[in-house]
Structure 1
Amino acid sequence: MIPTSARSFLYVPANKPQLFDKAVRGETDAVIIDLEDAVPLPDKDRARNEVAQWLASRSSTDTQIWIRVTPEFMTQDLEAVAGTGVTGIMVAKCSTESLTRADRFLDMRNLPDIELIGLIETAHSLRAVPEMARCNRVRTFGVGEVDLLADLRITRSEHTESMIDAIRLNVVIDCAAAGLVAPIAPTSTDFRDLDGFVTTTARFVQMGFRGRTALHPSQVPIINAALTPSIDDVAAARRLVELYDVAQGGPTVDDNGRFVDEAVVRGAREILARA
């Protein structure tokens, strides 16, 4: 079963269980319980136990629950938290090998509904997206931009923004070419700059991303708003589909006399699906 696409993914440190229920009750579509960077090495065992206990006791909700694991400790992470109540596993610094390992583990545990999202955080994973997309259970990919730019030795500035956009666009293209769900855009570490977050989120939507990660709850409503089609957009899309259906799949024109064919209607259907 493929879960409904999420717009917003809110990171929650796995060593802060007091935040789990609050995050799930909030506005985010999905919560990412983070067992990777957010948890110091000495705290990992305790964090795994806290997450496992919470998953076993929590009530069912519509909020998706993803667990971010690290390849270095994948077996320990998955043994602790992979089970019912988990929508999917987000594999940090993903590779074909680590995604395959995660898939095999979930097969052995007879957990067919748990999906995988790979986080592209290295030059190697950036190059390997077409290969990784063929791994079982892979729903899509996200961009871990801080790690990725560090690995590429790219310094973020106004002079390199076009280069970074080219990298982002490659991920969008590779996901579309593989028939995957559209990728998840990177977050902003400057969670106080909400005006900037509005601007960048709108750009990511235009670029073809259909989700974004958040580090702070204040970023979540911005993501949801940007990825929710407006009433006017939905009405226009519905009208295009109606006209195309009347034309029985042949070329037609819209109410303003503009040409409408399958390619135009495909975009309208995508808007209606997101709505």
Structure 2
Amino acid sequence: MTTAHPLTWLYAPGDRPEVVAKALHAGADVVIVDLEDAVAPDRKEYARSATAELLSEPHPSPVPVPVHVRVNTLGTPLGDADLRVIAPLPGVAGLRLPKVTSRADVIRVAERAVPADGGSPSLHALVESALGLEHAFAIATAHPALHGLSLGEADLRADLGVREDAGLDWARSRVVVAARAAGLAPPGQSVHPDIRDLDGLAASCARGRALGFLGRAAIHPRQLPVIERAYLPTAEEIERAEEITKAAATDEGALALPDGRFVDRAVVEGAQRVLSLARRLR
């Protein structure tokens, strides 16, 4: 089941069609076919052709969820070939753009890949360097076709020389703020690389939720339920949200809850978002 804003994105390597086929039915809101990091250099051409075959129809029957494709680095021969072949395919719902460092990167892709009528595919920028982070808001506002902004934490960690996970919290907050300021949906978290460490994944998701993220990318189906549980509202949060929206519906001025607490319009909007997410539980 999906919502207007996905909670789970599942990566699958483009050179392994059998893995992509499984990923499509694994329960993720979006599947990302990866032509970049997950594919060895000598398998890039095959990955592109296999992905093109899969997505050659608008709604091929084996594809029950939206499919995004992460292309190779922009401005390289591989990246250019990916855009040329993949972007026009009717089965592509979105393009994930790696290592974006500037507004110009997004504009160049949009001019090549997005139809004049503003149709699909949507663009999603991955910020993976200090330079990209400095330009986060410019990237987020570069083009109307850009629908998402998120971090590529492995590359960013290496670029910054960060050793501890907490060292990325400022970068995470920077991207959350840039997305919000640009009117984009909250970013999803970067992947948790240890597929066996589900407790660590849950703790990391709780931290990401506290920082303003909404949902997360995964690299294995076993991570999906953990991510979804972490980002779905608790029974207590749902009860409070229902209380707030009920007060908002009956009070045209300042909103007073039965216990005497007052809430403003921003709190009401937050409660409405909680209830929207809660519909996934039904």
TM (norm. structure 1) is: 0.91
1:214 to 200, 212, 218: 218
- Aligned partners of 1:92, 1:44: CA distance in 2, in Å? 15
Q: Quick one: which amino acid aligns to residue 144 of structure 1?
A: G
- Aligned partners of 1:265, 1:108: CA distance in 2, in Å? 37
Aligned to 1:269: 272
Q: Do the aligned partners of residues 257 and 55 (structure 1) sit closer, same or farther apart at CA in structure 2, a change above 3 Å counting?
A: same
Q: CA deviation at 1:109?
A: 8.0
Q: Deviations over 1:122-144 (max 9, x none)?
A: 11110111111112211121111
Report percent identity of matched pairs.
32
Aligned to 1:43: 43
Q: Quick one: which amino acid aligns to residue 189 of structure 2?
A: A
Give the secondary structure class of the aligned counterpart of 1:180.
Answer: coil
Q: Deviations over 1:177-214 (max 9, x none)?
A: 11111012111111111111011111111211012111
1:246 to 247, 250, 272: 250
1:85 aligns with 2:88: no
* Contact map agreement 2:104 2:142 (CA 8 A) in 1: no
The CA RMSD over aligned residues, in Å, is 1.9
Aligned to 1:69: 71
1:148 to 153, 156, 168: 156
Aligned to 1:23: 23
Q: Quick one: which amino acid aligns to residue 271 of structure 2?
A: A
1:183 to 176, 181, 187: 187
Q: Deviations over 1:90-132 (max 9, x none)?
A: 0010132321122111235867121111111111110111111
- Aligned partners of 1:266, 1:110: CA distance in 2, in Å? 31
* Contact map agreement 2:15 2:50 (CA 8 A) in 1: yes
Q: Do the aligned partners of residues 9 and 252 (structure 1) sit closer, same or farther apart at CA in structure 2, a change above 3 Å counting?
A: same
1:172 to 170, 176, 180: 176
- Aligned partners of 2:114, 2:231: CA distance in 1, in Å? 33
Q: Deviations over 1:60-102 (max 9, x none)?
A: 7552211001212222112222221211000010132321122
Q: CA deviation at 1:239?
A: 2.4
Q: Deviations over 1:2-43 (max 9, x none)?
A: x82111111101110111121111111111100001112221
1:122 aligns with 2:129: yes
Q: Do the aligned partners of residues 129 and 44 (structure 1) sit closer, same or farther apart at CA in structure 2, a change above 3 Å counting?
A: same
Q: Quick one: which amino acid aligns to residue 25 of structure 1?
A: H
* Contact map agreement 2:33 2:68 (CA 8 A) in 1: yes
- Aligned partners of 1:85, 1:237: CA distance in 2, in Å? 37
Please list every run of 5 or more consecutive structure 2 residues that lacks an aligned counterpart in the other structure.
none
Give the secondary structure class of the aligned counterpart of 1:25.
Answer: coil
Q: CA deviation at 1:162?
A: 3.6
- Aligned partners of 2:255, 2:104: CA distance in 1, in Å? 48
Say how many residue pairs are matched. Answer: 268
Q: CA deviation at 1:232?
A: 4.0
Give the secondary structure class of the aligned counterpart of 1:56.
Answer: coil
TM (norm. structure 2) is: 0.89
Aligned to 1:59: 61
Q: Do the aligned partners of residues 111 and 43 (structure 1) sit closer, same or farther apart at CA in structure 2, a change above 3 Å counting?
A: farther
